[in-house]
Protein backbone atom coordinates (compact mmCIF):
# COMPACT_ATOMS: atom_id res chain seq x y z
CA UNK A 1 0.00 0.00 0.00
CA UNK A 2 1.32 3.44 -0.95
CA UNK A 3 1.30 6.27 1.54
CA UNK A 4 2.16 9.95 1.21
CA UNK A 5 5.79 10.75 1.95
CA UNK A 6 6.33 12.77 5.15
CA UNK A 7 8.96 14.98 3.47
CA UNK A 8 6.62 15.74 0.55
CA UNK A 9 3.10 15.99 2.01
CA UNK A 10 -0.07 16.60 0.01
CA UNK A 11 -0.60 20.35 -0.36
CA UNK A 12 -3.74 22.43 -0.68
CA UNK A 13 -2.76 23.40 -4.25
CA UNK A 14 -2.72 19.71 -5.22
CA UNK A 15 -6.29 19.34 -3.97
CA UNK A 16 -7.30 22.35 -6.03
CA UNK A 17 -5.65 20.89 -9.15
CA UNK A 18 -7.70 17.74 -8.71
CA UNK A 19 -11.02 19.46 -8.12
CA UNK A 20 -10.85 18.83 -4.36
CA UNK A 21 -11.38 15.11 -4.84
CA UNK A 22 -10.62 13.16 -1.68
CA UNK A 23 -9.65 9.81 -3.18
CA UNK A 24 -5.96 9.25 -2.41
CA UNK A 25 -4.79 7.87 -5.79
CA UNK A 26 -3.52 11.07 -7.46
CA UNK A 27 -1.84 12.34 -4.33
CA UNK A 28 0.29 9.29 -3.60
CA UNK A 29 1.26 8.90 -7.25
CA UNK A 30 5.02 9.22 -7.72
CA UNK A 31 4.39 11.01 -11.00
CA UNK A 32 2.17 13.68 -9.49
CA UNK A 33 4.49 14.30 -6.54
CA UNK A 34 7.51 14.50 -8.86
CA UNK A 35 5.79 16.99 -11.14
CA UNK A 36 4.75 19.20 -8.24
CA UNK A 37 8.25 19.15 -6.77
CA UNK A 38 9.86 20.17 -10.06
CA UNK A 39 7.26 22.83 -10.77
CA UNK A 40 8.10 24.30 -7.38
CA UNK A 41 11.73 24.93 -8.35
CA UNK A 42 12.76 28.52 -9.17
CA UNK A 43 13.04 27.96 -12.92
CA UNK A 44 11.69 25.30 -15.25
CA UNK A 45 11.10 24.89 -18.97
CA UNK A 46 8.66 22.49 -20.56
CA UNK A 47 10.18 19.60 -22.48
CA UNK A 48 8.82 21.01 -25.74
CA UNK A 49 10.71 24.28 -25.14
CA UNK A 50 14.14 22.60 -24.90
CA UNK A 51 13.81 20.04 -27.69
CA UNK A 52 13.92 20.25 -31.46
CA UNK A 53 11.41 17.43 -31.78
CA UNK A 54 10.04 14.31 -30.14
CA UNK A 55 9.06 11.56 -32.52
CA UNK A 56 8.95 7.92 -33.47
CA UNK A 57 9.28 6.70 -37.07
CA UNK A 58 5.83 5.15 -37.38
CA UNK A 59 5.26 1.60 -38.50
CA UNK A 60 8.10 0.34 -40.66
CA UNK A 61 8.52 -2.58 -43.01
CA UNK A 62 11.16 -4.90 -41.59
CA UNK A 63 12.91 -7.01 -44.19
CA UNK A 64 15.64 -8.98 -42.49
CA UNK A 65 19.02 -10.03 -43.82
CA UNK A 66 22.08 -11.87 -42.50
CA UNK A 67 24.50 -10.05 -44.82
CA UNK A 68 26.34 -7.07 -43.26
CA UNK A 69 27.01 -5.73 -46.76
CA UNK A 70 23.30 -5.38 -47.41
CA UNK A 71 22.01 -4.67 -43.92
CA UNK A 72 21.91 -2.11 -41.12
CA UNK A 73 21.86 -3.01 -37.39
CA UNK A 74 18.35 -2.74 -35.98
CA UNK A 75 17.60 -1.89 -32.36
CA UNK A 76 14.39 -3.13 -30.79
CA UNK A 77 12.93 -1.55 -27.65
CA UNK A 78 14.87 -4.16 -25.66
CA UNK A 79 18.12 -3.84 -27.63
CA UNK A 80 18.59 -0.16 -26.74
CA UNK A 81 19.48 -1.27 -23.21
CA UNK A 82 22.01 -3.94 -24.26
CA UNK A 83 25.63 -3.40 -23.22
CA UNK A 84 27.06 -5.28 -26.22
CA UNK A 85 25.67 -4.24 -29.60
CA UNK A 86 27.67 -6.69 -31.72
CA UNK A 87 24.89 -9.28 -32.03
CA UNK A 88 22.07 -7.11 -33.38
CA UNK A 89 19.79 -8.32 -36.15
CA UNK A 90 20.03 -6.56 -39.53
CA UNK A 91 17.31 -5.01 -41.65
CA UNK A 92 17.90 -4.54 -45.36
CA UNK A 93 19.18 -1.23 -46.63
CA UNK A 94 16.03 -0.95 -48.71
CA UNK A 95 13.90 -1.05 -45.54
CA UNK A 96 16.28 1.42 -43.90
CA UNK A 97 16.18 3.91 -46.75
CA UNK A 98 12.39 3.86 -47.01
CA UNK A 99 12.06 5.79 -43.75
CA UNK A 100 14.49 8.63 -42.98
CA UNK A 101 13.25 8.71 -39.37
CA UNK A 102 14.79 5.33 -38.53
CA UNK A 103 18.46 6.33 -37.86
CA UNK A 104 19.64 7.36 -34.41
CA UNK A 105 22.09 10.11 -33.49
CA UNK A 106 24.31 9.98 -30.39
CA UNK A 107 23.04 11.99 -27.44
CA UNK A 108 19.34 11.57 -28.12
CA UNK A 109 17.25 10.43 -25.17
CA UNK A 110 15.35 7.21 -25.93
CA UNK A 111 12.12 6.21 -24.19
CA UNK A 112 10.28 2.93 -24.66
CA UNK A 113 6.74 3.80 -25.70
CA UNK A 114 4.86 0.53 -26.01
CA UNK A 115 4.21 -2.54 -23.89
CA UNK A 116 4.53 -3.33 -20.21
CA UNK A 117 7.96 -1.66 -20.01
CA UNK A 118 6.78 1.65 -21.51
CA UNK A 119 8.55 4.60 -19.93
CA UNK A 120 12.05 3.16 -19.53
CA UNK A 121 14.76 5.68 -20.42
CA UNK A 122 18.23 5.36 -21.96
CA UNK A 123 20.22 7.26 -24.60
CA UNK A 124 21.68 6.75 -28.07
CA UNK A 125 25.33 5.92 -27.58
CA UNK A 126 28.22 6.86 -29.87
CA UNK A 127 28.30 3.40 -31.43
CA UNK A 128 24.56 3.58 -32.22
CA UNK A 129 25.13 6.36 -34.76
CA UNK A 130 23.17 5.57 -37.92
CA UNK A 131 21.60 2.40 -36.50
CA UNK A 132 17.93 1.80 -37.25
CA UNK A 133 15.61 1.77 -34.26
CA UNK A 134 12.13 0.42 -33.66
CA UNK A 135 8.94 2.46 -33.83
CA UNK A 136 8.39 1.32 -30.23
CA UNK A 137 11.09 3.76 -29.10
CA UNK A 138 10.43 7.48 -28.73
CA UNK A 139 13.29 9.78 -29.70
CA UNK A 140 13.75 13.03 -27.74
CA UNK A 141 16.06 15.35 -29.67
CA UNK A 142 17.56 18.13 -27.52
CA UNK A 143 17.92 21.66 -28.84
CA UNK A 144 21.60 22.01 -28.05
CA UNK A 145 21.39 25.80 -28.24
CA UNK A 146 18.98 25.73 -25.29
CA UNK A 147 20.04 22.75 -23.18
CA UNK A 148 23.02 20.36 -23.04
CA UNK A 149 22.06 16.90 -24.30
CA UNK A 150 23.67 15.14 -21.35
CA UNK A 151 21.88 17.30 -18.81
CA UNK A 152 18.49 16.67 -20.43
CA UNK A 153 19.08 12.92 -20.47
CA UNK A 154 20.35 12.88 -16.89
CA UNK A 155 17.19 14.56 -15.63
CA UNK A 156 14.83 12.41 -17.70
CA UNK A 157 16.61 9.27 -16.47
CA UNK A 158 16.49 10.42 -12.83
CA UNK A 159 13.84 9.14 -10.41
CA UNK A 160 11.86 12.37 -10.85
CA UNK A 161 12.10 12.28 -14.64
CA UNK A 162 11.17 8.63 -15.04
CA UNK A 163 8.28 9.03 -12.59
CA UNK A 164 6.81 11.84 -14.68
CA UNK A 165 7.33 9.94 -17.93
CA UNK A 166 5.68 6.80 -16.59
CA UNK A 167 2.83 8.94 -15.34
CA UNK A 168 1.92 9.69 -18.97
CA UNK A 169 1.48 6.01 -19.88
CA UNK A 170 -2.03 5.15 -21.03
CA UNK A 171 -3.80 1.97 -22.08
CA UNK A 172 -4.83 -1.30 -20.46
CA UNK A 173 -3.38 -4.51 -21.85
CA UNK A 174 -0.89 -2.69 -24.13
CA UNK A 175 0.59 0.46 -22.63
CA UNK A 176 1.59 3.41 -24.79
CA UNK A 177 3.23 6.83 -24.67
CA UNK A 178 2.88 9.42 -27.43
CA UNK A 179 5.09 12.51 -27.97
CA UNK A 180 2.13 14.79 -27.25
CA UNK A 181 1.91 13.35 -23.73
CA UNK A 182 5.40 14.59 -22.85
CA UNK A 183 5.42 18.13 -24.20
CA UNK A 184 4.54 19.73 -20.86
CA UNK A 185 6.90 17.68 -18.68
CA UNK A 186 8.74 20.32 -16.60
CA UNK A 187 12.54 20.37 -16.89
CA UNK A 188 14.39 22.11 -14.03
CA UNK A 189 16.97 24.65 -15.16
CA UNK A 190 20.06 25.01 -13.02
CA UNK A 191 22.88 27.44 -13.60
CA UNK A 192 24.86 27.00 -16.81
CA UNK A 193 27.98 25.76 -15.04
CA UNK A 194 26.16 22.88 -13.31
CA UNK A 195 24.35 21.87 -16.49
CA UNK A 196 27.64 21.86 -18.41
CA UNK A 197 29.33 19.81 -15.67
CA UNK A 198 26.56 17.20 -15.82
CA UNK A 199 26.78 17.16 -19.62
CA UNK A 200 30.56 16.70 -19.44
CA UNK A 201 30.13 13.66 -17.18
CA UNK A 202 27.58 12.24 -19.64
CA UNK A 203 29.86 12.79 -22.66
CA UNK A 204 32.78 11.11 -20.90
CA UNK A 205 30.55 8.16 -20.01
CA UNK A 206 29.48 7.84 -23.66
CA UNK A 207 33.10 7.74 -24.77
CA UNK A 208 33.92 4.98 -22.30
CA UNK A 209 30.95 2.88 -23.37
CA UNK A 210 32.09 3.16 -26.98
CA UNK A 211 35.60 2.09 -25.92
CA UNK A 212 34.14 -0.88 -24.04
CA UNK A 213 32.38 -2.04 -27.21
CA UNK A 214 35.39 -1.61 -29.49
CA UNK A 215 37.78 -3.31 -27.04
CA UNK A 216 35.74 -6.48 -26.46
CA UNK A 217 35.08 -6.78 -30.19
CA UNK A 218 38.78 -6.42 -30.96
CA UNK A 219 39.76 -8.92 -28.25
CA UNK A 220 37.52 -11.60 -29.78
CA UNK A 221 38.89 -10.95 -33.25
CA UNK A 222 42.45 -11.24 -31.95
CA UNK A 223 41.76 -14.66 -30.41
CA UNK A 224 41.09 -16.14 -33.84
CA UNK A 225 43.82 -14.14 -35.59
CA UNK A 226 46.39 -15.31 -33.03
CA UNK A 227 45.21 -18.92 -33.33
CA UNK A 228 45.42 -18.84 -37.15
CA UNK A 229 41.64 -19.30 -37.50
CA UNK A 230 40.74 -16.10 -39.33
CA UNK A 231 38.03 -17.94 -41.28
CA UNK A 232 36.02 -18.14 -38.03
CA UNK A 233 36.05 -14.39 -37.30
CA UNK A 234 33.10 -13.28 -39.39
CA UNK A 235 31.36 -16.60 -39.73
CA UNK A 236 27.91 -16.52 -41.35
CA UNK A 237 26.00 -19.37 -39.82
CA UNK A 238 22.93 -19.04 -41.98
CA UNK A 239 24.98 -19.13 -45.18
CA UNK A 240 26.06 -22.71 -44.40
CA UNK A 241 23.94 -25.55 -45.78
CA UNK A 242 21.20 -26.45 -43.32
CA UNK A 243 21.61 -29.52 -41.12
CA UNK A 244 19.40 -31.80 -43.20
CA UNK A 245 19.88 -35.31 -44.55
CA UNK A 246 23.23 -35.96 -42.85
CA UNK A 247 24.77 -39.01 -41.28
CA UNK A 248 27.39 -39.44 -38.60
CA UNK A 249 29.57 -42.17 -37.18
CA UNK A 250 31.54 -42.93 -34.03
CA UNK A 251 28.51 -42.41 -31.83
CA UNK A 252 28.75 -43.03 -28.11
CA UNK A 253 26.32 -42.93 -25.20
CA UNK A 254 26.71 -39.17 -24.69
CA UNK A 255 23.88 -38.14 -26.99
CA UNK A 256 21.72 -39.26 -29.89
CA UNK A 257 20.04 -35.88 -30.43
CA UNK A 258 20.42 -34.66 -34.01
CA UNK A 259 21.02 -31.05 -32.92
CA UNK A 260 24.06 -32.16 -30.91
CA UNK A 261 25.53 -33.77 -34.03
CA UNK A 262 25.06 -30.71 -36.28
CA UNK A 263 27.51 -30.75 -39.22
CA UNK A 264 27.78 -26.95 -39.12
CA UNK A 265 28.80 -26.96 -35.46
CA UNK A 266 31.04 -29.99 -35.93
CA UNK A 267 32.92 -28.17 -38.71
CA UNK A 268 33.67 -25.33 -36.27
CA UNK A 269 34.77 -27.77 -33.56
CA UNK A 270 37.03 -29.59 -36.03
CA UNK A 271 38.63 -26.27 -37.03
CA UNK A 272 39.28 -25.45 -33.36
CA UNK A 273 40.80 -28.88 -32.83
CA UNK A 274 43.15 -28.34 -35.78
CA UNK A 275 45.25 -25.86 -33.76
CA UNK A 276 46.90 -26.32 -30.35
CA UNK A 277 44.10 -26.31 -27.80
CA UNK A 278 42.86 -27.39 -24.38
CA UNK A 279 39.37 -28.53 -23.55
CA UNK A 280 37.05 -26.39 -21.47
CA UNK A 281 36.69 -29.22 -18.97
CA UNK A 282 40.45 -29.37 -18.47
CA UNK A 283 40.79 -25.59 -18.15
CA UNK A 284 38.08 -25.53 -15.48
CA UNK A 285 38.99 -28.75 -13.66
CA UNK A 286 40.49 -26.77 -10.77
CA UNK A 287 37.98 -23.94 -11.15
CA UNK A 288 34.28 -24.18 -11.87
CA UNK A 289 32.09 -25.41 -14.70
CA UNK A 290 28.51 -25.89 -13.59
CA UNK A 291 25.14 -24.36 -13.02
CA UNK A 292 24.55 -21.90 -10.20
CA UNK A 293 22.97 -22.85 -6.90
CA UNK A 294 19.19 -22.87 -6.50
CA UNK A 295 17.99 -20.78 -3.58
CA UNK A 296 14.97 -19.24 -1.94
CA UNK A 297 14.23 -15.63 -2.86
CA UNK A 298 12.90 -13.35 -0.13
CA UNK A 299 12.22 -9.86 -1.44
CA UNK A 300 13.97 -7.01 0.29
CA UNK A 301 15.12 -3.47 -0.39
CA UNK A 302 18.34 -1.52 -0.93
CA UNK A 303 18.79 -1.25 2.83
CA UNK A 304 20.27 -4.58 3.79
CA UNK A 305 19.39 -6.31 0.51
CA UNK A 306 21.42 -7.43 -2.49
CA UNK A 307 20.47 -6.97 -6.14
CA UNK A 308 19.72 -10.24 -7.91
CA UNK A 309 20.43 -10.26 -11.65
CA UNK A 310 18.80 -12.78 -13.97
CA UNK A 311 19.67 -13.94 -17.47
CA UNK A 312 18.03 -11.08 -19.35
CA UNK A 313 19.22 -8.25 -17.11
CA UNK A 314 22.84 -9.46 -17.10
CA UNK A 315 23.23 -8.20 -20.67
CA UNK A 316 21.86 -4.69 -20.00
CA UNK A 317 24.04 -1.60 -19.60
CA UNK A 318 22.78 -1.23 -16.02
CA UNK A 319 21.03 -4.30 -14.55
CA UNK A 320 17.77 -3.59 -12.73
CA UNK A 321 17.34 -6.86 -10.90
CA UNK A 322 15.11 -7.32 -7.86
CA UNK A 323 16.34 -6.80 -4.32
CA UNK A 324 16.49 -9.88 -2.09
CA UNK A 325 17.52 -10.49 1.49
CA UNK A 326 20.94 -12.17 1.68
CA UNK A 327 20.27 -13.76 5.06
CA UNK A 328 17.81 -16.15 3.45
CA UNK A 329 20.45 -17.85 1.28
CA UNK A 330 24.11 -18.79 1.18
CA UNK A 331 25.43 -15.49 -0.15
CA UNK A 332 28.84 -16.72 -1.43
CA UNK A 333 27.07 -19.36 -3.53
CA UNK A 334 25.18 -16.76 -5.55
CA UNK A 335 27.97 -14.23 -5.84
CA UNK A 336 30.39 -14.41 -8.76
CA UNK A 337 34.14 -14.58 -8.40
CA UNK A 338 36.43 -12.13 -10.14
CA UNK A 339 36.83 -12.99 -13.84
CA UNK A 340 34.07 -15.59 -13.72
CA UNK A 341 32.11 -16.00 -16.95
CA UNK A 342 28.36 -16.47 -16.82
CA UNK A 343 26.63 -18.09 -19.78
CA UNK A 344 22.85 -17.84 -20.04
CA UNK A 345 22.14 -21.56 -19.92
CA UNK A 346 18.38 -21.90 -19.95
CA UNK A 347 16.05 -20.77 -22.68
CA UNK A 348 14.89 -21.39 -26.21
CA UNK A 349 16.64 -21.23 -29.55
CA UNK A 350 15.57 -17.92 -31.10
CA UNK A 351 18.53 -16.05 -32.56
CA UNK A 352 17.65 -12.87 -30.66
CA UNK A 353 17.50 -14.60 -27.28
CA UNK A 354 20.33 -14.57 -24.75
CA UNK A 355 20.50 -18.38 -24.33
CA UNK A 356 24.22 -19.28 -24.74
CA UNK A 357 25.45 -15.67 -24.68
CA UNK A 358 28.28 -14.87 -22.24
CA UNK A 359 28.95 -12.06 -19.78
CA UNK A 360 32.19 -11.34 -17.90
CA UNK A 361 32.04 -10.52 -14.20
CA UNK A 362 34.65 -8.25 -12.69
CA UNK A 363 34.96 -4.89 -10.93
CA UNK A 364 31.71 -3.28 -9.79
CA UNK A 365 29.56 -6.07 -11.19
CA UNK A 366 31.34 -8.60 -9.01
CA UNK A 367 30.95 -6.38 -5.95
CA UNK A 368 27.39 -5.08 -6.46
CA UNK A 369 25.36 -8.01 -7.82
CA UNK A 370 24.42 -11.60 -7.16
CA UNK A 371 23.20 -13.90 -9.92
CA UNK A 372 20.41 -16.38 -10.44
CA UNK A 373 20.94 -20.12 -10.82
CA UNK A 374 20.11 -20.02 -14.53
CA UNK A 375 23.70 -19.30 -15.56
CA UNK A 376 26.43 -21.75 -16.46
CA UNK A 377 29.31 -20.53 -14.32
CA UNK A 378 32.74 -20.84 -15.88
CA UNK A 379 35.83 -20.12 -13.80
CA UNK A 380 39.24 -21.01 -15.12
CA UNK A 381 41.45 -23.07 -12.86
CA UNK A 382 44.34 -23.01 -15.34
CA UNK A 383 46.97 -20.35 -14.67
CA UNK A 384 47.80 -20.28 -18.37
CA UNK A 385 44.22 -19.53 -19.46
CA UNK A 386 42.79 -16.49 -17.69
CA UNK A 387 39.10 -15.78 -17.36
CA UNK A 388 39.52 -12.62 -19.44
CA UNK A 389 41.06 -14.56 -22.35
CA UNK A 390 38.43 -17.27 -22.03
CA UNK A 391 35.64 -14.68 -22.21
CA UNK A 392 37.05 -13.16 -25.41
CA UNK A 393 36.68 -16.61 -26.97
CA UNK A 394 33.33 -17.61 -25.46
CA UNK A 395 31.56 -14.38 -26.47
CA UNK A 396 32.27 -15.04 -30.16
CA UNK A 397 29.58 -15.92 -32.68
CA UNK A 398 31.16 -19.32 -33.33
CA UNK A 399 30.98 -20.26 -29.65
CA UNK A 400 27.39 -19.03 -29.45
CA UNK A 401 26.57 -21.46 -32.24
CA UNK A 402 28.62 -24.31 -30.78
CA UNK A 403 26.98 -23.92 -27.36
CA UNK A 404 23.56 -23.80 -29.02
CA UNK A 405 24.35 -27.09 -30.76
CA UNK A 406 24.94 -28.64 -27.33
CA UNK A 407 21.37 -27.96 -26.20
CA UNK A 408 19.60 -30.55 -24.11
CA UNK A 409 16.08 -30.66 -22.70
CA UNK A 410 12.54 -29.92 -23.81
CA UNK A 411 10.88 -26.51 -23.99
CA UNK A 412 13.54 -24.86 -21.83
CA UNK A 413 16.91 -25.89 -23.17
CA UNK A 414 20.07 -26.38 -21.13
CA UNK A 415 23.68 -26.98 -22.20
CA UNK A 416 24.72 -30.64 -22.27
CA UNK A 417 27.13 -31.31 -19.42
CA UNK A 418 29.22 -33.89 -21.23
CA UNK A 419 29.53 -32.00 -24.51
CA UNK A 420 30.48 -28.67 -22.97
CA UNK A 421 33.47 -30.29 -21.25
CA UNK A 422 34.89 -31.19 -24.68
CA UNK A 423 34.84 -27.68 -26.17
CA UNK A 424 38.33 -26.94 -27.58
CA UNK A 425 39.90 -23.67 -26.43
CA UNK A 426 42.69 -22.34 -28.71
CA UNK A 427 45.88 -21.92 -26.73
CA UNK A 428 47.49 -19.10 -28.75
CA UNK A 429 50.87 -17.91 -27.51
CA UNK A 430 51.42 -16.68 -23.97
CA UNK A 431 52.05 -13.13 -25.20
CA UNK A 432 48.86 -13.19 -27.28
CA UNK A 433 46.80 -14.52 -24.38
CA UNK A 434 48.09 -11.81 -22.05
CA UNK A 435 47.50 -9.05 -24.61
CA UNK A 436 43.94 -10.22 -25.29
CA UNK A 437 43.19 -10.58 -21.57
CA UNK A 438 44.48 -7.06 -20.91
CA UNK A 439 42.16 -5.72 -23.63
CA UNK A 440 39.15 -7.41 -22.03
CA UNK A 441 40.05 -6.12 -18.57
CA UNK A 442 40.57 -2.60 -19.89
CA UNK A 443 37.20 -2.74 -21.63
CA UNK A 444 35.42 -3.64 -18.40
CA UNK A 445 37.25 -0.92 -16.49
CA UNK A 446 35.87 1.49 -19.09
CA UNK A 447 32.38 0.10 -18.42
CA UNK A 448 32.77 0.60 -14.67
CA UNK A 449 34.05 4.15 -15.21
CA UNK A 450 31.05 4.93 -17.41
CA UNK A 451 28.73 3.69 -14.66
CA UNK A 452 30.55 5.82 -12.08
CA UNK A 453 30.38 8.94 -14.28
CA UNK A 454 26.64 8.51 -14.81
CA UNK A 455 26.16 7.98 -11.07
CA UNK A 456 28.17 11.15 -10.38
CA UNK A 457 25.97 13.10 -12.80
CA UNK A 458 22.81 11.84 -11.07
CA UNK A 459 24.21 12.69 -7.64
CA UNK A 460 25.15 16.21 -8.73
CA UNK A 461 21.69 16.74 -10.25
CA UNK A 462 19.94 15.50 -7.10
CA UNK A 463 22.08 17.69 -4.85
CA UNK A 464 21.43 20.82 -6.89
CA UNK A 465 17.68 20.20 -7.18
CA UNK A 466 17.41 19.59 -3.44
CA UNK A 467 19.24 22.83 -2.75
CA UNK A 468 17.00 24.74 -5.15
CA UNK A 469 13.89 23.13 -3.68
CA UNK A 470 14.83 24.09 -0.16
CA UNK A 471 15.74 27.59 -1.22
Tell me: do 240 and 339 sit in the same domain.
Answer: yes
Q: Any idea what the CATH number is for the domain that residue 332 is in?
A: 3.90.220.20
Tell me: do 235 and 358 sit in the same domain.
Answer: yes
Look at residue 306 and tell me if it is in a domain.
yes
Tell me: do 173 and 103 sit in the same domain.
Answer: yes
Over residues 129-165, the pLDDT tens digits come to 999 999 999 999 999 999 999 999 999 999 999 999 9
* Selected residue with higher pLDDT from 169 and 358: 358
Most confident of 106-110, 244-248, 367-371: 106-110
Average pLDDT score over residue span 309-314: 94
Look at residue 424 and tell me if it is in a domain.
yes
Over residues 235-286, the pLDDT tens digits come to 998 888 888 888 888 788 888 888 999 999 999 999 999 999 999 999 999 9
- pLDDT of 1 above 50: no
Tell me: do 93 and 114 sit in the same domain.
Answer: yes
| Residue 471: pLDDT band with limits 50, 70, 90 | low
Tell me: do 155 and 277 sit in the same domain.
Answer: no
* Selected residue with higher pLDDT from 410 and 100: 100
Look at residue 469 and tell me if it is in a domain.
no
Tell me: do 280 and 401 sit in the same domain.
Answer: yes
Look at residue 450 and tell me if it is in a domain.
no
Over residues 64-77, the pLDDT tens digits come to 999 999 999 999 99
Look at residue 32 and tell me if it is in a domain.
yes
Task: Specify the number of domains making up the chain.
Answer: 3
Tell me: do 33 and 66 sit in the same domain.
Answer: no
Please state, in angstroms and rounded to a whole number, the distance separating the CA atoms of residues 215 and 2. 45
Look at residue 237 and tell me if it is in a domain.
yes
| Residue 16: pLDDT band with limits 50, 70, 90 | low
- Please tell me the predicted confidence (pLDDT) of residue 20: 60
Look at residue 138 and tell me if it is in a domain.
yes
pLDDT > 90: what percent of the chain?
70
Look at residue 122 and tell me if it is in a domain.
yes
Tell me: do 304 and 318 sit in the same domain.
Answer: yes
pTM of the model: 0.91
Tell me: do 267 and 393 sit in the same domain.
Answer: yes
Tell me: do 362 and 396 sit in the same domain.
Answer: yes
Over residues 379-402, the pLDDT tens digits come to 999 999 999 999 999 999 999 999
Domain extent at residue 73 = 45-188
Average pLDDT score over residue span 222-233: 96
Amino acid sequence: MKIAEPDNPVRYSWLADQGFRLSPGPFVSESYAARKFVEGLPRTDSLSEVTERMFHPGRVTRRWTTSPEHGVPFLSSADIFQADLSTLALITRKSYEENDRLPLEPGWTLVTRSGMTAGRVTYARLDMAGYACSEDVLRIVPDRDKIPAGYLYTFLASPLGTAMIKGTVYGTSVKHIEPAHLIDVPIPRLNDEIERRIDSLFQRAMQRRAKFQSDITRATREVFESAGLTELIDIRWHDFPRDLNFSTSNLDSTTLRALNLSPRAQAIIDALKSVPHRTLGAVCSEGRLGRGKRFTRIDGGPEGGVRLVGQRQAFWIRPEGRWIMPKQTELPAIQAKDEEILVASQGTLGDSEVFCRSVFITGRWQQDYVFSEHFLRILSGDREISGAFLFAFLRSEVMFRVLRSMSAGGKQQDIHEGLRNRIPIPECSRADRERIADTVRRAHRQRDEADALEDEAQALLAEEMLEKGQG
